Amino acid sequence: MAATQVPGATVASIMSHPVVTAAATETVAEAATRMRDRRVGSVVVVEGDKPVGILTERDMIRIAAAGADTSNDSLSEWMTANPDSVASDEAVSDAFASLAEHGYRHIPVVDDGVLVGLVSMRDLMKIAQIQPVERAAAEMPKGLEGVVVADTAVGDVRGQEGFYHYRQYSAVDLAEKRTIEDVWHLLFNGALPNVSERDDFIKAIRPLRTVPDEVKEILPGVAGLGGTDAPPLDMLRTTVSTMGVDLGFRPWLDISPEELYQQGLRICAVVPTLLCALYRLKHGMEPIDPHDKLPYAANYLYMMQGEEPEPDHARAVEQYLISTIDHGFNASTFTARVITSTGADLAAAVVGGIGALSGPLHGGAPSRALDMLDAIGTEDKAEPWLRDAVERGDRLMGFGHRVYKTDDPRSVMLRGVAERLGGPKVDLAKAIERKAIEVLADLKPGRQLYTNVEFYAGIVMDTCGVPREMFTPTFASSRVIGWTSHILEQAADNRLIRPSANYSGPPPPQPVPDAN
């Protein structure tokens, strides 16, 4: 980012002040609360007017990861002592150089030993805004591929390595070792829960799964719209919007971070119930209320199928759900963050995410991969079928990925889950996968096309009795946790997302023809 060369601009003209401060004797928890309430990314630790340390959001993640006792540990134990600083009359470009060189996101501004302000990457981005846009626009690839548009501590994808993570943990390891409630806690609160935190979290979310009576009443009407093949995500979109109105959600700018967090819990908890109720109503069945005793995944299958699932089916679906909670800055996550950046309410941002996910290029393939297996039928027909399809220019469903140019780690994990479940479809899928990769390597050399998440997702869900029309909705039910984590993060450090476009129409201004 060579974006901060505004002639004559000094740090004083862009710094934030007054600064959010704390005493070294205060606890980490007190500082975290202050950061959250004041919606800032750091606190400067002071003795009188003098800065003696700094604690940032990044430190908070480090502290959470270390499992520290934040309500007892004092800031002096965790802060960066004697932080570098800049003077208020320094050029903005020098402050930028200092931030960029050291990887800092915040530097105290100090004149004669006295703290007078704080300059952050965010302040510098404000200056970057007034750059002429032509150059920036010309550099942007279509589809924003590879463009970094935000900082996030929620997670990331490393496509070349075939690795993705939620906060600091491998998402696949989490899916192998933890429950979805634990991972939800990790994403919302920044740390995996200990035993008592887990109990508290489960107690908090269980009652939130219930659909309010006023919304329950309108579900049959929504499920009756659009005939039997109305897309479930469209019905979900409608009812999440209704939930937001019913629960009195307001722009997050007008509510406290705690209230926004509670709204996030509510929407994530209720989405599986809404999906199952709409599915059952659509097929002439009575909706089933959430089960008091069942955890997330088992309850999801129970509300869909009407009976308590086999434990290995519940666990397999849970692993799928965990593996799809978040996946970098994909289209629906970006959409949710853009909507949040306007200050709009949480339901608006989730509805936007669902809208983006409903497009076939994003959320729409797991049932198509299974349709392909059905169309092939038996192993001996695989090679000619796949060859014909690729030669015709068709895409093999469940193969290829924009980011992964090696094995998609989710497909590797789900292949294992499918093998554990067993069954004839799994054997056929493995045989077709082998052939498909050979055919793609032969007919599309150098394109690095491997199995993606959707291929085995379909097999796992089918084996666990999830109907095909519920595949993408199942994906949505866990992805809403990821969107909401991003919504909370965006709100905690917001800047309106408002890019520019390169105008490519006829040269303006043309004379407006007279109306006649």
Ligand X SMILES: CC(C)(COP(=O)(O)OP(=O)(O)OC[C@H]1O[C@@H](n2cnc3c(N)ncnc32)[C@H](O)[C@@H]1OP(=O)(O)O)[C@@H](O)C(=O)NCCC(=O)NCCS
Contact between 38 and ligand X by CB under 6 A: the answer reads no
Contact between 164 and ligand X by CB under 6 A: the answer reads no
Cα 490 vs. chain centroid, distance in angstroms? 11
* Residue 511 to residue 272: CA distance in whole angstroms: 55
| Least distance in angstroms from the C-beta of 362 to ligand X | 8
User: Which member of 102, 126, 381, 447 binds ligand X (CB under 6 A)?
Assistant: 447
Query: Residue 115 or 357: which CB sits closer to ligand X?
Result: 357
User: Which member of 318, 454, 489, 493 binds ligand X (CB under 6 A)?
Assistant: 454
| Least distance in angstroms from the C-beta of 418 to ligand X | 16
Q: In the numeric block, which tokens belong to residue 396?
A: 């093999």
* Residue 502 to residue 499: CA distance in whole angstroms: 10
Is 391 a known active-site residue? no
Residue type, 249: F
User: Which member of 400, 458, 473, 482 binds ligand X (CB under 6 A)?
Assistant: 400
User: Which member of 102, 283, 402, 495 binds ligand X (CB under 6 A)?
Assistant: 402
Contact between 390 and ligand X by CB under 6 A: the answer reads yes
Residue 120 bridge partners (DSSP)? 106
* Residue 411 to residue 419: CA distance in whole angstroms: 12
Contact between 405 and ligand X by CB under 6 A: the answer reads no
Say if residues 42 and 22 touch (Cβ distance below 8 Å): no
Query: Residue 15 or 390: which CB sits closer to ligand X?
Result: 390
Say if residues 181 and 476 touch (Cβ distance below 8 Å): no
Contact between 432 and ligand X by CB under 6 A: the answer reads no
Query: Residue 295 or 328: which CB sits closer to ligand X?
Result: 328
Contact between 442 and ligand X by CB under 6 A: the answer reads no
User: Which member of 401, 415, 435, 479 binds ligand X (CB under 6 A)?
Assistant: 401
Is 401 a known active-site residue? yes
Pick left, alpha or beta for residue 422 (phi over 0 → left; psi -120 to 50 → alpha; otherwise beta): left
Q: Active-site residue among 401, 433, 486, 489?
A: 401
User: Which member of 396, 413, 414, 476 binds ligand X (CB under 6 A)?
Assistant: 396
Query: Residue 7 or 360: which CB sits closer to ligand X?
Result: 360
Contact between 395 and ligand X by CB under 6 A: the answer reads yes
Complete DSSP assignment for 348-366? HHHHHHHHHHTSHHHH--H
Closest CA to 201 of 262, 121, 125, 285: 262
Q: In the numeric block, which tokens belong to residue 214?
A: 């006023």
Q: Which of residues 341-380 bind ligand X (CB under 6 A)?
A: 361, 365
The 299-318 contact track toward ligand X, x by CB under 6 A, reads --------------------
Instruction: Name the H helices within 81-131.
Output: 92-102, 121-129
Say how many residues make up the chain. Answer: 516
Q: Active-site residue among 57, 181, 433, 454?
A: 454
**Cis, peptide link before residue 509, omega less than 30° from 0:** yes
* Number of helices followed by number of strands (H, E) in the chain: 24, 9
Contact between 398 and ligand X by CB under 6 A: the answer reads yes
| Least distance in angstroms from the C-beta of 324 to ligand X | 10
Closest CA to 58 of 214, 158, 131, 167: 167
Q: Catalytic residue numbers?
A: 401, 454
Which residues of this chain interact with ligand X, rule CB under 6 A?
A: 361, 365, 390, 395-402, 440, 444, 447, 449, 452-454
